[in-house]
Amino acid sequence: MKPAGDPSLSGRVTVRDIAGRLPGFDRVSSSATRAASSRVGRVFAWLTRPVPLGLIATAAAAFVFWHTAGFDAGRPDIFYLSQAFLHGQAGLLAPPWSGANDVIPGLNGLDYVPFAPFPSIFFMPLMLIISPQTAHQYEPVINSILAAIDIGLVWAMARRLGVERRRDLIWLGLLLGFSTAIWWVTVRGGVWHTGHLIATMLTLLALIETFGRRRPLLIGLLLGAAFLTRPPILLAGPFFAFVLTFDRSIRDWAGRRAIARDWVWLVIGVLPSIAFFFWFNYIRFGSPLDSGYLEATLPSWLAVVRDQGLFSVSHLPQNWDYFMLHTPTVIPDFPWIRPDGLGMSILITSPGLLLSLRADWRSRLSWGLAGAFVLVMIPVLLYYGGGWLQYGFRYALDAVPFAVALCATVLARRRAGIFWWLALAVGLAVNAVGVYWAYQLF
């Protein structure tokens, strides 16, 4: 009588069954089985699970960022303003960069900076331990940690969206961390760039919550903090409100009441940040609507551009060029392309983001994410600043998390094929060249 495990009972014989009957193959199979069941094998199997592997990927990214970051932008405004907040001041007393650009001299002996305040609030606990000077010295390390956290959060967000394959999770992490302006801002440092890393972190946290438990108060608090870091992100608010309706019905009173309750909590979460924004402006400049950007010192040529308006349609052609069309100059020697520091098309620096176009456009979520991307990009493209000095178009980082989330929805349905790995490789190579130029452009 044949044993119950004999494959011939079912009429099916697998390749493994045939190979196991060949001389020596049974020994290989048993060796592999023993290796897999050993302690080392079990540890390896555990480490390759999505969560532990995500932690390893985050640590590896931090290592790469740390070994490539090191440029001193000479503008540690964030840390000095954190210390000022701890002393109850909204401005800085004789900062080391007095006389530089992006400063508003005050009438009370303080210098003000126009930058959004949340990054300085974020670092207040750190300033209780170390001085701003020490934080400035270790700014490359701090920025490397923030950038690595962003990669870890992309991993977590993708898991919430249903991406399970490890190689697809790695693809998404590489896309955000090393094929967008994240790498450039991490290397260059300074008040302008650290804010992008914190804003990306807050936006990803809000997306993770939105794709998970959907607690509207927490989403609102994160959105408000992102607004106090990079104001254009506030325009993604309708997206978060839209997703809160997904598991509600508008056809009955209970569903409409639940939607209204969620929206109220979302607004309650955002309102403190908006109120702080107006108050912070008022105590510095006497008007809740004056953030200081109109008075900040600038090079004469940029002041002429600002005179056309902080936000104006007249800035759109220039910003669209930097965002979508601007190309580097091809040179005969290493590294074969030379940027001008004004910008570079996202199609060159981040071609992997085009995967977002393969999203399921029958899905409400896809349209919501696309809408959030467009809404956030509107003030970015109308703004006078340009984002210089930059490699790519760093202002687009305000909207990039939504495009990456769209890519994740695609990878939840299908794997990243060879074409998209090649697209990612192009972006990685282009941004690696950007690391070289980060130390050459001034």
Residue 108 is predicted with a pLDDT of 76
Lowest mean pLDDT of 154-168, 240-254, 329-343, 360-374, name the range.
Answer: 240-254
What is the arithmetic mean of pLDDT over 72-86?
A: 94
What are the E-state strand segments in 81-228? 104-105, 111-112
Tokens of residue 245, six digits: 């309706």
With bands split at pLDDT 50, 70 and 90, how would you rate the model's confidence at 30? low
Lowest mean pLDDT of 1-10, 34-43, 52-61, name the range.
Answer: 1-10
Q: Which residue has the higher pLDDT, 420 or 28?
A: 420
DSSP per-residue letters across 256-273: HHHHHHHHHHHHHHHHHH
Lowest mean pLDDT of 42-46, 297-301, 306-310, name the range.
Answer: 42-46
Residue 205 is predicted with a pLDDT of 98
What is the arithmetic mean of pLDDT over 54-75?
A: 92
Q: Say how far apart CA 428 and CA 430 lie, in whole Å.
A: 6
Over 90: is that where the pLDDT of 411 sits?
yes
DSSP per-residue letters across 112-124: E--S-SHHHHHTH
Q: Point out which residues pair with 330 in neighbouring strands.
A: 337
What sign does the dihedral 390-71-118-224 (CA atoms) show?
positive
For residue 98, what is the DSSP state? T
Over 90: is that where the pLDDT of 172 sits?
yes
Q: Which residue has the higher pLDDT, 316 or 33?
A: 316
What is the arithmetic mean of pLDDT over 259-279?
A: 97
* Coil, strand or helix at 49: coil
Alpha-carbon distances of 428 from 151, 183, 435, rounded to whole Å: 15, 10, 11
Provide the residue ranges of all domains of the chain, joining segments of one domain with +.
65-438
* Coil, strand or helix at 330: strand
Q: Point out which residues pair with 338 in neighbouring strands.
A: 329
* Most confident segment among 92-96, 104-108, 154-158: 154-158
Q: Report helix, strand and coil shares of the chain as percent, to nearest 5.
A: 65, 0, 35
Residue 328 is predicted with a pLDDT of 97
- Looking at residue 197, its amino acid is L
